[in-house]
Structure 1
Amino acid sequence: MRNHTLLNEFVLLGIPQTAGLEAVLFATFSSIYLFTLLGNSLILTAIVSSSTLHTPMYFFLGLLSIFDILFPSVTCPKMLFYLSGQSPVISFKGCVTQLFFYHFLGSTEGCLYSVMAYDRFVAICHPLRYMLIMKPGVCVGLVVAAWLVGCLQATILTSFTFQLSYCGPNQVEYFFCDIPAVLPLACTDSALAQKVGSINVGFLALMLLFSVCVSYTRIGIAILRIRSAEGRRKAFSTCSAHLTAILCAYGPVIIIYLQPTPNPLLGAVVQILNNIVSPMLNSLIYSLRNKEVKRSLKRVFQNVLLTVRE
């Protein structure tokens, strides 16, 4: 990639139309980021420390918490760094790395949502065979497949973006290195890279969303067949949190990459919701709507208090 560019750094111009609001944005985003790290760390601790939560469902939920820690960490620290008045410059290699891990973690997390939807489908539609179908080897295999899809997607997108020549200007009109913001700076024709980016991201998002819809359609039919109202309520409660998290995750991606004419301000707002707010909401959604997680968190806090008192 170095042989195809004359630039060795980019300048991140930040969130469009927010000049003069750096202090407010820094306070807001730093609070959200810290809450995201704390909330997802607590969920992960609760799952690891409670033997009753060592099931496929919570295995995937624990992985989701890890992704919700890593995903905002790709963009948020750098954004907070320059919002605090430090240099907005990012090296060329740093820009490549940021773009790669953003799409790698984002695509892998999208695949994980589909895996979790399949897990809920098996649990509700085939409850007697659930542990037989979702064996540890199957769970690990599904996760590895999600990682491979994410890695392949990120490699393709990063390669097509940075095989172009970048000889100036170097000002990225965005708060991190993403394809729609970097490609306009290329000195050579970027039409192919733009098409590959839109098609790949859009196709993967729509395919994963389709798989989720198929799983939840089957789940909905199975729930409607349950005769007792209590049984329907219990079955729906096991899926509602996951379904809410999916809507928060897929909506921004589809808006950003499938909009006919890119809108920098709209794109920035949606990306902030996707990158920073959604990972924080996931910790709230799963902790507030899941009785088992709440009970485990309560035990964790009680053990911490006992340790402090001793």
Structure 2
Amino acid sequence: MLRGLYTAASGMIAQQRKHDTVTNNIANINTPGFKQGTGISRSFPEMLIERIRSGGAPGEPPTARVGRLTTGVMAEENVSVHAQGDIQETQNPYDFALISDIQVPGATFDASGKYVDADGQRVIQPQAFFTVLNANGEQRYSLNGKFTVDVNGNLITSEGNRVAGRDGQPIVLIDPTTQAPITNFRISKSGLFTNRDGQPIMGANNQPLNLLISRVEDPNQLVREGNGLYRLNADNATQVQPVGLNDQVEVRQGYIERSNVDAGQSMVDMMSALRAYEANQKVVQFYDKSMEKAVNDVGRI
């Protein structure tokens, strides 16, 4: 009897996690560069049920196979959907949007950025990210291009993380003559900073300032850290490299990438998770009443 109780309870936990994922998507519907998450559920490993025989004929095995049994469902992981979000114009010179359509030879990606070849091998479309430095100087990846400049001329995110240049160092937009932050600048499609005359803006090492746009081979390997930041585990660090000249990646100044969350579908998914949770809850209540009757009524007889 308890087997069904555990199965229903596992279903409640899985639907609760799915509900949390959907509500997080809805909460970030206006967050620039946010990629919606999709909860993936799977069943627990099957168990082989056998019945122990007693008093069987000589030579018979001591057990008889009954069959296989699944013991419930589990929320395995939360996978991000890296589809391109809508591009919104802001006319703010410190706002940047990435338009990425990196191709892999022999692969034709669908709208979700996935391709399955004739042998069933799955190929994920690489994605481009801004590279930022956290408080410890470690590289992180983001699609939220709503930047600003602090009093020292550092190009920073809204959370204060410094934006990295192609040399891996923070980008500093400071006028060497006046020591004031540079506000009158342009940025090319490749991420090169120039003045109004089209001349490159030089950094402290006398090299042109250029955004470090990172190409992540498999964006599903990224781990969310919060505040729009992603990281890669040390084992997957080789999957990141600067975008190449042939990669179809474009930086647009004065624009931001909106969240790719589908509000209508998210509301449907949230209600579906709630109804499934309630259905499993009814099953738990049924088992609770059955055990109560077995203990209080049947035991009295």
- TM-score when scaled to structure 1? 0.25
Q: Which of 1 and 2 has greater Rg? A: 2
| Larger proportion of strand | 2
| Larger proportion of helix | 1
Which fold has the larger relative contact order, with Cα–Cα distance below 8 Å and residues 6 or more apart in sequence? 1
